[in-house]
Amino acid sequence: MPKQFLHSRPFADLPSGVALRTLLLSAVLGAALVSARASAQTASPPSSFEGQIIYQVMPDRFADGNPANNAAVDRTNPRAWHGGDLPGLTAKLPYIQQLGATALWMTPIYRQQSGNSFETAAYHGYWPANFQDVDPHFGTLNDFDTLIGATQKAGMRVVLDQVINHYGYTADVVKQKPAWFNGESECAATTKKDVDCALAGLPDLKQSNPEVQKVLFDAAAFWRARGVDAFRYDAIKHVERPFLNALLARDRSAGAWTLGEWFDADTGTVAEWQRAGFDSLFLFSLQAAMRDAIMSGQGLDRVAGVLARAGELPRPGEVALFLDNHDVPRFANGTLFEDDGQARTKYGLRALMTLRGVPVIWQGTEIAMRGGTDPDNRRDMRFEAEWTPAERSVFEVTRDAIAVRKASPSLSRGAQKLLPLPPQFDSELLLFTRELNGEPVLAAWHNGKARQSYSIRLSSLGLTVGNLAATRSLFAGQDAKVSVSGGFLHLSLPGRDAAAFALK
Ligand SMILES: [Ca+2]
Ligand SMILES: [Ca+2]
């Protein structure tokens, strides 16, 4: 647990004895308290993204729909603007739909600081200058409205990235409104360094200032009114807690889904923030465990270790799950060899689609794009005409895995139960069930290099199912089979892949 978290929990304003007793009580009564809390909120039920598939786009690096707005574009420089924009994104919505995603997350599209800082342009959107306008590189507010109209026509939801911690380095407001920002003296005086000191030197907003609060509340209301369904709130570790609580209350009453980014969050951190009012956080601990197991050849037992904690989550179906994003090296980059990266990305994407939560796919992961740390992980998206046959086959596997998940209520929204394995298998095998409406699906991840068969006693797995003739995986073109007979589960699994089987 990050140290700062201890200073910002919801009970921080209570006497320590009360806080401790409350925490112990919630540890004992966990589920009961959560359900009481849920029923207390029936007046404005929490919004849900369970069953959704989110596709993440960084508009500057996605598709250029209007060359007329390409000021200072230099595609040879990974730190410069590359010309992608909202009209390009609108034109590519059919591509995202063809993949099967149901929701779109855009990194920030606000008006940015005009110049570069550290020889880097604000192409990424995280250096805002005006929270209620679209940057001219991305287009206009009209272009934004056109995009929203197109998503609504397509039945897709929109998640907008919101910066609430800072302005861009050279935003005009930094000089105009010094009282809005924490300076060196505030940073020196505070015990909450993560919150009140500048993140990467960015002008740090003082959210306790009522004018700052108004700017940020108004920004959320502005974009909600334009048809945004959900917000991804950036860098929440660095934002004042009372302000966050108030912001979340407003979003909740407006029906907006909220997704917080706490870099490196584990299950405990996600659970704490779900209790505090976020619908979802990114589960970074699972991303790291999947990367290490699937890409780097470490054991699946660490993935099982993360999944074993799912019971701590008040709303496990809402947690955001991902293989990579714009802040970490590309998933496929975990191996030197391109074909290996493609094969293991297929494995990773199939595995992702078996898990309980909300899968998030970063643009290009569906073709196993490569790239190291920022900005190499933000190479320009390439579309069908530019793909190699191998990239096309990664796309086809991704599209199929998403379709299989969407067609299965159990995979989309079912309860998840981790099955205990004999110790000799727990590094190379991971088994869990997903179940809704009495229709169990078995997920089987296999980390061994080569095809392997397993026969495991049902009673040792805690699994109660009837006999089952040999049944193929739900994923197309995958040579994986399960059968049940004589009190045993029999599995035949290809090397380094994840399968899903309907158990009835
Ligand atoms: Ca453009
Ligand atoms: Ca801050």
| Domain CATH for 321 | 3.20.20.80
Residue 210 burial (CB count, 10 A): 8
The residue type found at 302 is R
Q: Which residues pair with 247 in a beta bridge?
A: none
Tokens of 273: 């923030």
Shared domain for 156 and 277, answered yes or no, is yes
- Residues with CB in 5 Å of ion ligand 2: 165, 204, 238
pLDDT interval class at 2 (50, 70, 90): very low
In tens, the pLDDT along 64-101 reads: 999 999 999 999 999 999 999 999 999 999 999 999 99
pTM: 0.91
Which ligand ends up closest to the CA of 190?
Answer: 2
Q: Is the pLDDT of residue 327 over 80?
A: yes
Q: Is the pLDDT of residue 7 over 60?
A: no
Q: What is the chain's mean pLDDT, rounded?
A: 92
Pairing of strands 358-362, 157-162: unpaired
User: Distance from the CA of 441 to the center of ligand 1, in angstroms?
Assistant: 45
pLDDT of residue 85: 98
Share of the chain above pLDDT 70, in %: 91
Which ligand ends up closest to the CA of 4?
Answer: 2
H-only helix segments in 322-457:
338-352, 389-407, 409-413
Domain boundary among 409, 435, 459: 409
Q: Is the pLDDT of residue 10 over 60?
A: no
User: Distance from the CA of 89 to the center of ligand 1, in angstroms?
Assistant: 10
CATH (domain of 453): 2.60.40.1180
pLDDT of residue 146: 98
- What is the average pLDDT across 222-239? 97
Torsion of CA 355, 94, 260, 394, to 10 degrees: 40
User: Distance from the CA of 394 to the center of ligand 2, in angstroms?
Assistant: 40
Residue 327 burial (CB count, 10 A): 17
User: Distance from the CA of 166 to the center of ligand 2, in angstroms?
Assistant: 7
Dist. CA 246–CA 197, nearest whole Å: 21
pLDDT of residue 144: 98
In tens, the pLDDT along 404-429 reads: 999 999 999 999 999 999 999 999 99
Q: Is the pLDDT of residue 3 over 90?
A: no
User: Distance from the CA of 399 to the center of ligand 1, in angstroms?
Assistant: 28
In tens, the pLDDT along 125-145 reads: 999 999 999 999 999 999 999
Shared domain for 121 and 36, answered yes or no, is no
Shared domain for 443 and 385, answered yes or no, is no
User: Distance from the CA of 262 to the center of ligand 2, in angstroms?
Assistant: 13
Shared domain for 449 and 491, answered yes or no, is yes
Q: Domain range holding 9? A: 1-42
Q: Is the pLDDT of residue 440 over 60?
A: yes
pLDDT of residue 12: 29
Dist. CA 471–CA 482, nearest whole Å: 5
Domain count, the chain: 3
Longest dimension (CA), the chain: 77
What SS3 class is residue 319? coil
Shared domain for 372 and 477, answered yes or no, is no
Which ligand ends up closest to the CA of 239?
Answer: 2
